[in-house]
Amino acid sequence: MTLSLPSHITLRPYQSEAIDTWTAAGHRGILAMATGTGKTITALAAATQYLTAPTAGGVLIIIAPYLHLVDQWDEEARAFGFTPVTACGSWEQWYSELQQRLMEQALGVSAVEAVITTKATFAGEKFQEQIGTLSDRRTLLVADEVHHLGAPDQRTHLPANVDARLGLSATPERAYDETGTEKLTRYFGGIVFEYGLDTAIQAGHLTDYYYIPHFVELTDEEMLEYGAYTSSIANRIERLKASDTDGAEIFDDPVLTQLLIERARIKGGAVQKFDRLQTILEQVESHTRSLVYCGDSTVQHPEFGPIRQIDAAVKLIGAQLDIPIHKFTYEESAATRQELLNGFADEQLQMLAAIRCLDEGVDVPAAHTAYLMASSKNPREFVQRRGRILRPAPGKTEAVIHDFVTIPPLDELGMDADSEVIGMEQQLFEGELARIEHFAHSALNRPDASLTSFPTSTPSLAEVKQRLALV
């Protein structure tokens, strides 16, 4: 096996800097690089350098979060000269080969061996058994979308006997999980290099974009249901307080948590989102290469009845508006998803509707418009979704993000504005506004993300903030 940088690849200056910084940090650290800036190439170049150093040889372990990313890593790794074992699925399919290859490397029959696995297989007993044999060997562990390994069922399996460690992610921090983030930071050695979105756009490595938030409100029927859940939430909080529960533990109550989830579902699936989406799609000139991000929860659509948001979106766009669209989820087979991507690339299929399947690793550089029907306060999710449409492509000069946001009906609930429930609602919406302002900050139409050249909605972001007393 001869490892080298492929002839068709020239590392960008920031990629070389990332490798040098990681090397100087003792071959440990996390590269926080914006989606679309070449984390995979950077990692494989770093691995090639590490395993062909004067003390050449060793083992490369690559952990990908999902199965479809294993194939992508395998293809890229082979271009560098690696011949990886892909350890996925049932252990009977890969265990013997991996065991044999590691034995040959230990005996000097081969200088370098590589294995690519998923986070699920990595945490399994059989894979951990093989990792345990590497204590005396030069080994590099590369974790793609490293934040996944901070989960409780993953972080306990991170091998202490692997010395060289490289984490990759646009969003290394785990949202709402300080413990997981801290353990990842300690294991990998913290963030040693950052290459952010604004820098990448300015350098021309990512595409400029416009960001348009569309604010909608609940229907009368939705308001009734929303108000009922709000009353139940208020009553539950009062009962928890009366039981002398520590205030810090109130929101750990599973009943309260479920009530909050159900109420959030009403906002996320607001019917007006579909109305607004239809209006926008009827106004725009082209629907080619557009992504629609939806929720998986059931909504009460006035025409379709109880239905998942993603299925309602596909019915609206495909059946009523006659725009070629297909779901792109984990319900489709790997072969089907590849066919859908091929059809999307050659414009036979104009739109893809996804839940989370397009969040990480799926390369759709031709996509230039995103419709965010299911807003997320999780930084990882919205950063990944934005990154999907910012990859450069021939003929692509800019991207457009349409974000559908439900305004909380604080002024229609008939409650004391100083009540704890109202305060909680404001706090939740402030989190969503933080996401909106994050998107708007790097957009061509910053700072208030309102345009005349694209379909827009009233009220504006500034008006919404003023209405809810958030300014």
The 10s digit of each residue's pLDDT in 181-193 is 899 999 999 999 9
The pLDDT-based confidence of 162 (bands split at 50, 70, 90) is very high
Distances (CA, A) of 109 to 187, 293, 319, 427: 31, 49, 60, 61
Collapsing DSSP to helix, strand or coil, 174 comes out as: coil
Buried b / exposed e along 380-402 (16+ C-beta atoms within 10 A)? bbbbbbbbbbbbebeebeebbbb
Predicted local distance difference test score (pLDDT) of residue 471? 36
Predicted local distance difference test score (pLDDT) of residue 386? 82
Q: Which residues contact 345 (CB under 8 A, 6 or more apart)?
A: 364, 366
Best CA proximity match to 350, nearest among 329, 368, 332: 368
Predicted local distance difference test score (pLDDT) of residue 96? 95
* pLDDT above 90 (res 11): yes
Helix or strand run (H / E) with residue 116:
strand 112-118
* pLDDT above 50 (res 5): yes
Predicted local distance difference test score (pLDDT) of residue 439? 82
Query: Counting beta carbons within 10 angstroms of the beta carbon of residue 91, is it exposed (0 to 12), middle (13 to 18) or buried (19 or more)?
Result: middle
Q: Please list the residues that pair with 168 across neighbouring strands.
A: 31
Collapsing DSSP to helix, strand or coil, 2 comes out as: coil
Q: Which residue has the higher pLDDT, 425 or 41?
A: 41
The model's pTM: 0.80
Collapsing DSSP to helix, strand or coil, 184 comes out as: helix
Helix or strand run (H / E) with residue 201:
helix 197-202
The pLDDT-based confidence of 61 (bands split at 50, 70, 90) is very high
Dihedral of CA atoms 339, 344, 350, 356 in degrees, nearest 10, equals: 80
Q: Measure the CA–CA gap between 208 and 396, rounded to whole angstroms.
A: 10
Predicted local distance difference test score (pLDDT) of residue 116? 97
The pLDDT-based confidence of 71 (bands split at 50, 70, 90) is confident
| Per-residue pLDDT tens digits for 292-351 | 988 877 888 888 888 989 999 999 999 999 999 999 887 888 788 888 888 888 888 999
Q: Which residue has the higher pLDDT, 242 or 469?
A: 242
Predicted local distance difference test score (pLDDT) of residue 468? 45
- Average pLDDT on 368-376 reads 83
Predicted local distance difference test score (pLDDT) of residue 456? 46
The pLDDT-based confidence of 425 (bands split at 50, 70, 90) is low
Q: Which residue has the higher pLDDT, 206 or 263?
A: 206
Predicted local distance difference test score (pLDDT) of residue 454? 43
The pLDDT-based confidence of 43 (bands split at 50, 70, 90) is very high
Give me the residue label for tokens 């990313």: 69
Yes or no: say if 21 and 191 are a contact pair by the CB < 8 Å rule.
no
Best CA proximity match to 425, nearest among 267, 297, 245, 241: 267
Q: Measure the CA–CA gap between 47 and 29, rounded to whole angstroms.
A: 13
Predicted local distance difference test score (pLDDT) of residue 247? 52
Q: Which residue has the higher pLDDT, 456 or 97?
A: 97
Which of 246-250, 267-271, 314-318 tops mean pLDDT? Answer: 314-318
Which of 138-142, 227-231, 443-447 tops mean pLDDT? Answer: 138-142
Helices and strands: H and E segment counts in the chain: 17, 15
CATH homologous superfamily of 208-467 equals P-loop containing nucleotide triphosphate hydrolases (3.40.50.300)
- Domain locations in the chain as residue ranges: 13-201, 208-467
* pLDDT above 80 (res 207): yes
Predicted local distance difference test score (pLDDT) of residue 354? 86
Best CA proximity match to 138, nearest among 81, 82, 59, 26: 59
Collapsing DSSP to helix, strand or coil, 78 comes out as: helix
Percentage of residues in the chain having pLDDT higher than 90: 38
Q: Which residues contact 267 (CB under 8 A, 6 or more apart)?
A: 218, 226, 406, 408
Q: Measure the CA–CA gap between 446 and 439, rounded to whole angstroms.
A: 9
Buried b / exposed e along 240-273 (16+ C-beta atoms within 10 A)? beeeeeeeeeeeebeebeebbebbbbbbbbbbbb
CATH of domain 13-201: 3.40.50.300
